[in-house]
Structure 1
Amino acid sequence: MVYVASDERYEIMRYNRSGRSGLKLPAISLGLWHNFGGIDAYENGREMITRSFDLGITHFDLANNYGPPAGSAEDLFGKVLARDLSAYRDEMVISTKAGYYMWPGPYGDWGSRKYMLSSLDQSLKRLGLDYVDIFYSHRPDPHTPLEETMGALDHAVRTGKALYVGISNYTAEQTLEAIRILNGLGTPLLIHQPRYSMLDRWIEGGLQQVLEENGVGSIAFTPLAQGLLTNKYMNGIPEDSRAAGPSTALSESRITPEVQRKIRALNQLAVSRGQSLAQLALQWTLRGGKVTSALIGASRVTQIEENIAALSHSEFSQEELDRIETILKTESEA
């Protein structure tokens, strides 16, 4: 069946300018970190991608190592793009990254010019594209001069293989230096992609200020704390959950009684507002306009639909924001 995008795809979504650039991103973007790899069902991935586009999600976030196996998320997205979305390429922002392990030997990891540009070429081949809209340095490399890594990003733009550049997982100090280098090269930093959620607020300790002062956008990954800020873990750890599996990112040790207390209290507030806990968490992440886009993951279409519905709820009152701060403030969790 030939896919035709919904005529109503731009009626629900809100679009925010990324820093002082000319590029707008959807308030909610789709990340393909999990559930789009070679071990996952192609049709489910295809359905999630096309449904996202129908709902106004124009930004799809990938990385060279997304899968598993590494590279397979780009393969899947490339197939969906060729089959269903090629006619809409100019309506889409497609991003990828390099910085984590991809292949053996000294040139398959971190941030050297050799690795960054070789990885981008491989990503473009898997995606079936001539260029990506955003190319990221996925993490800082302690052994490579920052000038070299930023120079590779600049080269990607100058050779037409990327339109914009971004960084991810950089501290406030590293970000400020990256901004300085890229400005000197004439390729301004478009966006930073940090972890950020109600349960992980490290960017409020300086990074947000650096981005705001320098006109750089931000896109928050794991805004639902990898499922903690949903109703999944309020009363324990389900056997089929990520925390019960082999994942190293979300372990049972993170789901403490104190965290569950917070989740239940936040859920009560969400219910009083007529929304789910996930919707509350996404809306909180986007509050005040400091975050350009919240980057969601999904394993099924209904999760995407629920998350986008967060945009239709009323803004927080000051009383509600104060209540959230009271819930989150404990002696053991930040």
Structure 2
Amino acid sequence: MSYQPAADRYAHIPVRRSGRSGLQLPGLSLGLWQRFGDDRSIQTQREIVLAAFDRGVFHLDLANNYGPPAGAAEANLGRILKQDLAAHRDELVISTKAGWTMGPGPFGIGGSRKYLVSSLDRSLERMGLDAVDIFYHHRPDPDTPLEETAAALDHIVRSGRAHYVGISSYSPQDSRTMAGLLRGLGTPLTIHQPSYSMFNRWIEAEGLVDAAADEGFGIIGFSPLAQGMLTDKYIGGIPDGARAAQGGTLNPDWLTDEVRARLQGLHDIAAGRGQSLAQLALSWALRDPRVTSLVAGASNVAQLEENLDALDHLDFTEAELREIDRFAVDCGIDNWADARNGSPVTFR
């Protein structure tokens, strides 16, 4: 039987406008970063994507290098789109990115016009699409002038490859500069995708949310669960099989006694609200209306459903926010600080 989406899929999910644009996004978007490569069952991937769409999650977020191997997430989504969602393409917001390492040599990484345009062409081929809705420069490239990157993003829109453009992991100042460059070219900067969580609050401290309000672009936070740390599983330490035990993006050195005490405090607040710790973290990250959406992944449908239930409880009292601030402090849990602070882009 062919897939038929839920008739009431838009009845309950909150939708916010991205800055001063016409682009609207669901409060929670589905990220296809770590669980949509060829190391995972395509059937499980399909179940997650379709369950998300049934709940009104119409934004699917990718990048050229998501896998493994790089490009696999886009190819797998292309299979799901063709099989199940082709008739609903106009309802979907599909985003992809380029900037981190995709291939060897100087044009497999960075912010050059050649890399960004050719990378997007390959992304469109893998997904079987004529255009994406949002194309991001995935990280700043200090070796390429911002003017060249901005001109490439403008060309991508004018050539029909994307409807909107965004940036990711840019500093507030570089974000303002890019917004000005794109405005001058006639292609507004629509959205910024920074890391943001209870333990990674740089967008507040460094003024990115203020830059977004001033320049008119939206914010869609990624890693709102701090690479899975803001879940109940790490309060007592690192369980076998958890992401922190496997290496990669969640550094086990971050799980200090102090951090676990903060997790316990936040867990207790969540329990008082009738939420899990993960749900509290997602609700909290959406408390500021300048945050348009959050990107969160899911390893199965049950986890997706738990995350989406956070959207039913977005209100906070001032007392709750003060209590949360006792525990939700920046703990240096940020894999992307070097990128926005001007570290060189290298290739092998």
Alignment of 1:105-144 (within 5 A): 105-144=105-144
Corresponding position of 1:227? 228
Q: Give yes or no for contact 2:19–2:290 (8 Å, CA) kept in 1.
A: no
1:246 matched to 2:229? The reply is no
TM-score normalised by the chain length of structure 2: 0.94
Structure 1 residues 332 and 42: alpha-carbon distance in aligned structure 2, compared to 1, 3 A threshold: closer
> Secondary structure of the residue that 1:243 maps to in structure 2?
helix
Number of residue-to-residue matches in the alignment: 333
Deviation at residue 239 of structure 1 after TM alignment: 1.2
Query: Which aligned pairs between 1:31-46 and structure 2 lie closer than 5 A?
Result: 31-46=31-46
Residues 40-59 of structure 1 correspond to what in structure 2 (within 5 A)? Answer: 40-59=40-59
Native 8 Å contact 1:100 1:138 kept in 2: yes
CA offsets per residue over residues 245-267 of structure 1, 9 Å max, x none? 031x1111011111110111101
Instruction: Give the 4+ runs in structure 1 shifted more than 3 A.
Output: 329-334
Inter-partner Cα distance in structure 1 for 2:7 and 2:331: 50
AA in 1 matched with 2:114: K
CA deviation vs aligned residue, 1:73-128 (integer Å, no higher than 9, x gap): 00000000000000000000000000011111221111110000000000000000
Partner residue of 2:281? Answer: 281
| Superposition deviation, residue 223 in structure 1 | 0.4
Which residue in 2 is equivalent to 1:82? 82
Alpha-carbon contact 2:166-2:190 (below 8 Å) kept: yes
2:152 maps to 1:157: no
Q: Which has the higher contact order (CA 8 A, sep 6+)?
A: 2
290 and 330 in structure 1: CA distance in 2 versus 1, 3 angstrom threshold = closer
- Residue equivalent to 1:213: 214
Q: Contact 2:197/2:226 (CA < 8 Å) preserved in 1?
A: yes
Quick one: distance in 1 between partners of 2:184 and 2:329? 41
Q: Using the TM superposition, give the Cα deviation of residue 328 of structure 1 relative to its aligned residue in structure 2, in angstroms.
A: 2.8
Q: Which residue of 2 aligns with 1:169?
A: 169
Q: Which amino acid aligns with 1:8?
A: D
Q: What's the C-alpha RMSD, in Å, of the aligned pairs? A: 1.4
Does the aligned pair in 2 maintain the 1:265–1:327 contact within 8 Å? yes
Q: Which amino acid aligns with 2:325?
A: E
User: Secondary structure of the residue that 2:291 maps to in structure 1?
Assistant: coil
- Alpha-carbon distance in 1 for matches of 2:34, 2:310: 22
Provide the rounded CA distance (Å) in 2 between the counterparts of 1:327 and 1:78: 41
For 1:127-180, what per-residue CA distance to the aligned partner results, in whole angstroms no more than 9, with x for missing partners? 000000000000011111111111111101000010000000100011011001
Deviation at 1:294, TM superposition (A): 1.0
* Structure 1: tracts of 5 or more residues without a match: none
Q: 1:192 to 1:329 in 2, by over 3 A?
A: closer
Q: Distance in 1 between matches of 2:328 and 2:79?
A: 42
Distance 1:316 1:333, change over 3 A: same
In structure 2, the partner of 1:309 is 309
Q: Deviation of residue 333 (structure 1)?
A: 8.4
Q: 2:107 & 2:331 partners in 1: Cα distance?
A: 44
Inter-CA distance 332–141: structure 2 relative to 1 (3 Å threshold): closer
Corresponding residue for residue 184 of structure 1: 184
Conserved? CA contact 2:194–2:203, under 8 Å: yes
- Post-superposition shift, 1:313? 1.8
Q: SS state of the match for residue 322, structure 2?
A: helix
- Partner of 2:345 in structure 1? none
Residue of structure 1 in register with 2:7 after alignment? 7
Structure 1 partner of 2:295: 295
Unaligned runs of 5+ in 2: 335-348
For residue 327 of structure 1, report the CA deviation from its aligned partner: 2.1
SS of residue paired to 2:244: coil
Tell whether the 8 Å contact from 1:259 to 1:333 is kept in structure 2 after alignment.
no
C-alpha offsets along residues 256-286 of structure 1, whole Å, 9 cap, x if unaligned? 1111101111010111111111111101000
1:88 counterpart SS class = helix
Alpha-carbon deviation of 1:332? 8.7
Identity of aligned residues (%): 54
Q: Give how far 1:69 is off.
A: 0.5
Q: Distance in 2 between matches of 1:165 and 1:331?
A: 31
CA distance in 2, matches of 1:227, 1:203: 19
TM-score, normalization by structure 1: 0.97
Q: Give 1:329 deviation, angstroms.
A: 4.8
- Secondary structure at 1:19 match in 2: coil
